[in-house]
């Protein structure tokens, strides 16, 4: 704040900046800080939610209510073209232990243009949420679920109404099983300790364009039969 000629009038130097300059400054902020800036004043609210700032969403923190955060962010971003957020192409979520399949459902339904998703250390995620994400975001090519200990497969086939293991009891080679080929080229499954050989077989069969897969410390993998 500053004063002019000793008067009591105070002004913010930031207010002198043009919208383009403010947007440039905001472009260096994380998603969390952008959301906080949007609460400062009406002008900042409009600028902080400019779609050009939200091609990527970055969230982190064990205590962050991630499902609610994703719902709130996508609701605001989807105002221009409800309920979709076509500008969002990249999502990075680190160590958000409160992220669940419900949060992934929000992303899959509202961010159809996703191409790059990192969900590292999100231990509550299961196959159901990941399946919905990769099935509905048809342009998705990069997926990192390292440290998601409940993941057993990234299966493009139909979902089972039973538990996660039930869907693998059917014959993998069954011709009657509808097959959806995913666009995934990169998958990181490091520390996915529930992953087994059957899950790897399904991933390979569903991802015809796969060029890179990481399986570090996947302790139950013993071998892959072609």
Read off the pLDDT band of 170 (50, 70, 90): very low
Which residue in the block uniquely carries the two structure tokens 């000793």? 6
Which conformational region is residue 147 in: left (phi greater than 0), alpha (psi within -120 to 50 degrees), or beta? Answer: left
- Provide CB contacts within 8 A for 90, sequence distance 6+: 55, 56, 57, 114, 115, 116, 117
Q: Are residues 30 and 85 in the same domain?
A: no
Q: Is residue 172 part of a domain?
A: no
pLDDT of residue 12: 73
Domain count, the chain: 2
The predicted-structure confidence for 109-162, as pLDDT tens digits, reads as follows 999 999 999 999 999 999 999 999 999 999 999 999 999 999 998 876 554 444
> What is the value of pTM for the model shown?
0.81
Average pLDDT of the residues in 7-30: 83
Q: Are residues 91 and 197 in the same domain?
A: yes
The predicted-structure confidence for 26-76, as pLDDT tens digits, reads as follows 999 999 999 999 999 999 999 999 999 999 999 999 999 999 999 999 999
Q: Are residues 124 and 215 in the same domain?
A: yes
User: DSSP string spanning 100-146?
Assistant: -HHHHHHHHHH-TT--EEEEET-TT--HHHHHHHHHH-TT--EEE-T
Q: Are residues 111 and 195 in the same domain?
A: yes
CATH classification of the domain holding 16: 1.20.1280.50
**C-beta neighbour count of 197 within 10 angstroms:** 14
Q: Are residues 108 and 119 in the same domain?
A: yes
Average pLDDT of the residues in 173-199: 80
CATH classification of the domain holding 61: 3.80.10.10
Q: Are residues 23 and 121 in the same domain?
A: no
Half-sphere exposure in the Cβ direction for 226 (13 Å, CA): 0
Q: Is residue 3 part of a domain?
A: no
Greater confidence (17 vs 178) lies with 17
| pLDDT at 226 exceeding the cut of 60 | no
pLDDT of residue 179: 56
Q: Are residues 120 and 219 in the same domain?
A: yes
Handedness of CA 213, 219, 223, 226 (dihedral sign): negative
Q: Are residues 30 and 99 in the same domain?
A: no
- Provide CB contacts within 8 A for 7, sequence distance 6+: none
Which residue in the block uniquely carries the two structure tokens 């064990």? 62
- Provide CB contacts within 8 A for 88, sequence distance 6+: 54, 55, 56, 57, 74, 77, 111, 113, 114
Q: Are residues 42 and 91 in the same domain?
A: no
Q: Are residues 49 and 59 in the same domain?
A: no
Q: Is residue 139 part of a domain?
A: yes
Q: Are residues 18 and 102 in the same domain?
A: no
Q: Are residues 144 and 195 in the same domain?
A: yes
Percent residues over pLDDT 70 in the chain: 82
pLDDT of residue 180: 65
Residue 205 belongs to what domain range?
55-160+179-226
């Amino acid at each position: 704040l500053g004063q002019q000629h000793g008067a009591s009038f105070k002004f913010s130097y930031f207010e002198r900046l043009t919208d383009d300059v403010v947007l440039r400054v905001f472009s260096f902020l994380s998603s969390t800080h952008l959301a906080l800036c949007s609460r400062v004043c009406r002008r900042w609210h409009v600028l902080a939610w400019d779609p050009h700032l939200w091609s990527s969403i970055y969230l982190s923190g064990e205590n962050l209510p991630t499902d609610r955060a994703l719902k709130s962010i996508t609701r605001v971003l989807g105002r221009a073209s409800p309920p979709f957020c076509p500008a969002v192409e990249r999502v990075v979520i680190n160590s958000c232990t409160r992220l669940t399949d419900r949060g992934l459902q929000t992303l899959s339904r509202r961010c159809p243009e996703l191409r790059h998703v990192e969900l590292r250390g999100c231990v509550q995620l299961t196959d159901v949420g990941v399946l919905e994400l990769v099935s509905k975001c048809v342009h998705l090519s990069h997926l990192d679920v390292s440290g998601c200990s409940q993941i057993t497969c990234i299966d493009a086939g139909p979902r089972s109404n039973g538990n996660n293991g039930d869907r693998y009891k059917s014959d993998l080679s069954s011709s009657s099983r509808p097959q959806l080929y995913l666009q995934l080229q990169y998958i990181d499954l490091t520390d996915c300790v529930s992953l087994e050989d059957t899950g790897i077989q399904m991933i390979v069969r569903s991802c015809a364009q796969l060029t890179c897969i990481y399986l570090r410390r996947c302790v139950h993998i013993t071998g892959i039969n072609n």
